[in-house]
Each structure stands twice: as C-alpha cells, then as structure tokens.
Amino acid sequence: MANKKNMKTGAELVGNEYILNGQPGKGGKEMSFSYISHLYCSACERKYSTKEKQQLCECGSPLLVAYEFDEIKGQLKPGDLVGREASLWRYHELLPVEEEKNIVSLGEGMTPLLRMPRAGQDMGIENLYMKDEGTIPTGTFKARGAAVGISKAKELGVRHLAMPTNGNAGAAWSLYAARANMKATIVMPVDAPVVTRKECVIAGAELYLVDGLISDAGKIVSKAVKEFNLYDASTLKEPYRIEGKKTMGLEIAEQFGWKVPDVILYPTGGGVGLIGIYKALIELHTLGWIGDELPRLVAVQAEGCAPIVKAWNQKKPYSEFWESSSTVAFGINVPKALGDFLVLDAINKTDGCAIAISDEELVAEQQKVATQEGAFICPEGAAVFAAARQLRENGWIKDGESVVALNTGSGVKYSDLLSCAVPILQPDEGLPFRQG
C-alpha cells in the first residue's frame, strides 16, 4: 500500500494513523486516536481488557478507563487543541474510542461557559459562571455519556442495549442508538418528564414505564439483561458513559485557560457527572496541564432525595437507600447510587461538600436565574444555583472565589412543571394602562 505523506508535518499516513518521523521527543512513535490502555476496578485490584464488552467487575464494582499518560505527554500539548472542532471529540486522545469511524455524534460538547453577573451580584458571588448544558443535543448533558457510550458500544459490536432511566438518559441513549442503528430497550418511572418518553418513542426505542422509581426500573432491566443477553447500559454498569461526562471537566479547564475555578457545583443523582469531572481533573493534573490546586467539588441534592448528603454529614464512605424519595428535579431522584463511594471520595479529596436543597428553594431559584440572566435552566441546575447562594451565605464560598454552577439541561424539557397564569384578551380588547 502506498503511504500518503502529510507535507506540513512530515508525517506518513499508514492506514488511519499518522507516524511522525524525526520530531524531537516524539521518537517516531505512532500517534493513536485514543490512548486507552485498560479497564481497572474502582474498588479492587482487577484489570480488564477494553477489546471486549465489559460490565461490572467480578466484585460488583464499576470499572474505570485507564489511559497511557506517559505517551500522551509526549504527543499532545494543550496548544494542539486550538483549532480542533468545538465538540467533546476534540479530546479524542483522552476518550476510549479507538477508531474515528466508530464515532456516533450529533455535535455534542464545548457548551458555553457564561458569566452570570446579575445572579452573581444577587448572591454575593462576583465570579459566578454557568456551564450551560441546556444547548446540547437532546437538551441535557446526558448526550455526552450517550455519545461516548454508544460510540464505544458500536466499536465493540453491540447490537442491542437496555437501560433504566429517570428520563433524560433514556432519551439521549435512544436517539444516539438510532444514529448508530442500534436497538435500545428503555425502562423509566411513570412520573418521569413526559417529553423524555416521546424522545425515546420517536427514536424507535422499545420503551416501558414502571409504576415505581429508577431503582425498580433497574431491577427489571437487570433481569432482562440476563434473560435476553443484552448489553447493560445502566449507570456505571458499562465503563464508558463516565468518559463522556468527564469532558465537562476537560472543557471547564480549557475554557478557564488551563486554570481551574475554586468551586464547581454539580446536581448529583447517580453522581457520574461529578465522578467524571473529578476524573478529568486528575487526568489533566497527571498530564501537567493544570496545577496541584483542584476545585472544591460540591454534590447538590434535593431534600426529598439526599442519600449522598446524609452519608457525607455522617462521614460515611457509602450511602444508604433513601426511602420514598421525591423531588421535582427528576434527574437527581436516585435513592441509591452504585458509585456513591466514588462521589464521596471526590468530595473528600477536594475539600468539597454535599448540600440538600428543598423543591421550593430550587423552583424560586429557577425563576430568578431566568429573570436575572435570561437562562431557562432545568430544576437540577436551579438546585445548584440555590446551593451556591446558601454556601455563600454561610461563608463556605469565600469572597472573590470563582464558582462554576453546572446547569445540566434545558428548562424547556420540564416546562410541564411551571404554572403560567397570564391574562387572556378578546381580539377587540386593549392592554390595561400601566405606569412606567
């Protein structure tokens, strides 16, 4: 086969990979699309191959992805990212998909990091930012996990997956599965936001509603997975969704110019986003792209479902099942998370904290952020802003600190929740006169 030569870099294209010759420090080594190395258990010593489908470790704990950091160090510098496409795939070296042709994308990632001057002033946080996931395909950050999870599933030859969901993940995985021409079976609570049902159905997924919680949906999926030999795409039961979610952490660091904010607040259900952001920060630190000082990570939950907050207050390494959980912030209604110990570890290692917000507080905050900043955020994101307000009031967030609030989705997906009492006019009526 004749090799193509890239005149600009002097690299030769062999198959899909560039081989750099004679560049200092690069030693003629092949450049890979991904520097994935292996899977390791988050709780025991076992390692697993990334070439086959994997679910949990034999010990029942989640598997995480390891990369060849020494090789990445020699091949990639932050400056190399400049000019790459504005999607999460700009970080492909740090993602698990080995061949570019397996990428299943709807253009997800590189969401805006917005300054929030009026909301910030209102709560006394001068340097308040919002990382806004409301603009991403499928309307929530679940698109990140779905894009990377589905791409890797495609690479591994998965034809049919199943998952329990509180709605948003099911919607995202159904749509990305459709794009990958893969079959998806989804089980969600009857109370989940109605629009998410419709997203699953229009994507052609097989959808079931369960008269219960996400934990009940999980039990049904577990059984079906065994019975019908399906790929279990439940939270943390496959190792790649978290890799998609970690790109929020990579983007925050890049958008801050490879510095990091003092505090990142995250609405925590299964906690994958928070574990992912922590993993991203550790990886960037390992590469030497950010300094020793990591942001303090805050897990925000709803008062009606706060198992992580309870465990954190009691200084326990694990959470307990939260009975009869309930909150309007449906994405964080998770009574027991498989990765709870990883969330608690990330909070502890970064001197962070965990805090619970009432539904009344978060609904009021959602209104404030919309009127003060023009951002229609989701209830989960609103919980994060309410948490920032409280943590500033009690002095945990200090004067002048930079704070990033993660808005995990668009408020439009939850518009059923909002009441909207406004006057209705007859066609021949005028507006009532108002002063000023």
The binding site for ligand PLP (CB under 6 A) comprises 140, 142, 168-169, 267-273, 331-332, 378, 380, 408-409
Burial string for 299-310 (b: 16+ CB within 10 Å, else e) reads: bbbbbbbbbbbe
What is the dihedral angle through the alpha carbons of 205, 56, 99, 285, rounded to the nearest 10 degrees? 120
- For the chain, the first-to-last Cα distance in angstroms comes to 77
Cα distance between residue 329 and residue 244, in whole Å: 22
Kindly indicate which of the ranges 21-29, 36-44, 86-94, 277-285 contains the residues binding Zn ion, using the contact rule CB under 5 A: 36-44
Q: Taking CB within 5 to 8 Å according to partner kind, which of ligand PLP, Zn ion, none is near residue 270? A: ligand PLP
Length of the chain: 436
Instruction: Tell the smallest beta-carbon distance from residue 55 to ligand PLP (Å).
Output: 18
Query: How far apart are CB 210 and ligand PLP at their closest, in Å?
Result: 17
Q: Which does 409 bind (CB under 5 to 8 A by kind): ligand PLP, Zn ion, none?
A: ligand PLP
Q: How far is the CB of 140 from ligand PLP (least distance, A)?
A: 5
- Whole-angstrom distance, CA of residue 401 vs CA of residue 259: 13
| Comparison of 42 and 402: residue with beta carbon closer to Zn ion | 42
Of the ranges 56-64, 212-220, 235-243, 317-325, which one interacts with Zn ion (CB under 5 A)?
56-64
Using CB under 5 A as the binding rule, whether residue 47 contacts Zn ion is answered as no
Closest residue to ligand PLP: CB criterion:
331
Residue whose pair of structure tokens reads 């019908």 in the numeric block: 228
Q: Report the partner that residue 142 touches, choosing among Zn ion, ligand PLP, none (CB closer than 5 to 8 A by kind).
A: ligand PLP
415: β partners:
none
Q: How far is the CB of 350 from Zn ion (least distance, A)?
A: 24
Q: What are residue 352's phi and psi, to 5 degrees?
A: -85, -160
Residues 6+ apart with CB under 8 A from 428: none
For 102, list phi and psi in degrees, rounded to 5: -85, -5
Given ligand PLP, Zn ion, none, residue 269, with its beta carbon under 5 to 8 Å by kind, binds ligand PLP
| Nearest distance in Å: CB 375, ligand PLP | 14
Among 11, 57, 225, 388, binds Zn ion (CB under 5 A): 57
Whole-angstrom Cα distance, residue 31 to residue 15?
A: 12
59 scored as a contact of Zn ion (CB under 5 A): yes
Stretch of residues binding Zn ion (CB under 5 A), selected from 54-62, 68-76, 91-99, 221-229: 54-62
Measured on CA atoms in the order 94, 248, 141, 112, is the torsion positive or negative? negative
Please select the residue that binds Zn ion; options are 20, 41, 297, 298, rule is CB under 5 A.
41
Cα dihedral: 227, 245, 66, 97 (round 10) = 70
Pick from Zn ion, ligand PLP, none: which does 273 bind, CB < 5 to 8 A by kind? ligand PLP
Smallest separation (angstroms) from ligand PLP to the CB of 431: 37
| Least CB distance to Zn ion at residue 119 (A) | 43
What six digits make up the tokens of 60?
Answer: 């029942």
Q: What residues pair up with 184 in beta bridges, in sequence order?
A: 161
Check binding of 236 to Zn ion (CB under 5 A).
no
Rounded CA separation 148/245 (Å): 9
Among the listed ranges 51-59, 90-98, 190-198, 343-351, the one in contact with Zn ion (CB under 5 A) is 51-59
Contact 398, 347 (CB under 8 A): no
User: Are the C-beta atoms of 75 and 29 separated by less than 8 Å?
Assistant: yes
Helical ranges in 213-330 per DSSP H:
214-228, 241-245, 247-255, 272-286, 307-313
What does 41 interact with, of Zn ion, ligand PLP, none (CB < 5 to 8 A by kind)?
Answer: Zn ion
Q: How far is the CB of 60 from Zn ion (least distance, A)?
A: 7
Choosing from 3, 4, 9, 44, the residue that interacts with Zn ion (CB under 5 A) is: 44
Q: Which is nearer to ligand PLP, 142 or 336 (CB)?
A: 142
